[in-house]
Amino acid sequence: MTNEWGWQLPATDALFQDSPYEPLENPGENIAERLIMIAHLSFNTDVWSTRIDRYWEGLVERIEGACNTNSVTEFWQRLTDEMALVPLSAGELLHEKNLLCRPSILSYPVSDFEVLNPLRSYPRDIVDRTRMWNQYRKAAKVSKLKAA
């Protein structure tokens, strides 16, 4: 799978393979969705395990709170702090997160506003897409284990 903008983001491109949805076609929305998927992959079980029933709503609330900025980098820092995310350990995913936080330097540049706008306007939709992606991802893992 190659994204239509020519971005060299194979790790986050691969995340969409387990999604029931096609990747969002708007580049700013696409980056926003990738960042929320990465945020979920940084889930902190120490913080959220006792309140897992509030996790997805909490993620929406934290996104809304973190969007009061003009910079995707600052948004990510605020979201990381608010969600108490654990640092990414996968080098390729960390590299891609760093690129996505500075969308104007991508091979097909996108403004910070274009990424932050969908996160401000409809964070629940992006979180719900991530939630479904997570459910499909878990189901795929279970299927692989049963097949082995």
The pLDDT tens digits of the residues spanning 13-50 come to 999 998 999 999 999 999 999 999 999 999 888 888 77
In a domain, 11, yes or no: no
**Within 10 A of 74 (CB to CB), how many other CB atoms are there?**
16
10 falls within a domain:
no
DSSP, res 89: -
Residue 97's alpha-carbon distances to 68, 93, 104, in angstroms, are 20, 6, 13
User: Is residue 1 assigned to a domain?
Assistant: no
d(C-alpha 23, C-alpha 27), whole Å = 10
What is the predicted pLDDT for the residue at 1? 53
pLDDT at 145: 74
Question: Of residues 87 and 31, which shows the higher confidence score?
Answer: 31
The pLDDT, as a whole number, for residue 16 is: 92
Mean predicted confidence (pLDDT) in 55-82: 96
- Domain contains 13: no
Q: Is residue 5 included in any domain, yes or no?
A: no
Domains held by the chain: number: 1
Which of the pair, 1 or 17, is modelled with greater confidence?
Answer: 17
Name the least confident of 53-62, 65-74, 97-106, 134-143: 134-143
Mean pLDDT across the stretch 66-82?
Answer: 96
Do residues 96 and 9 lie in contact, with contact meaning Cβ atoms separated by under 8 Å? yes
The gap from C-alpha 143 to its chain's centroid, in whole angstroms, comes to: 24
- pLDDT-derived band at 143, boundaries 50, 70, 90: confident
Q: What is the pLDDT of residues 92-139, one digit of tens each?
A: 999 999 999 999 999 999 999 999 999 999 999 999 999 999 999 989
Question: Which residues span the domain enclosing 80?
Answer: 25-147
Q: What pTM was computed for the model?
A: 0.93
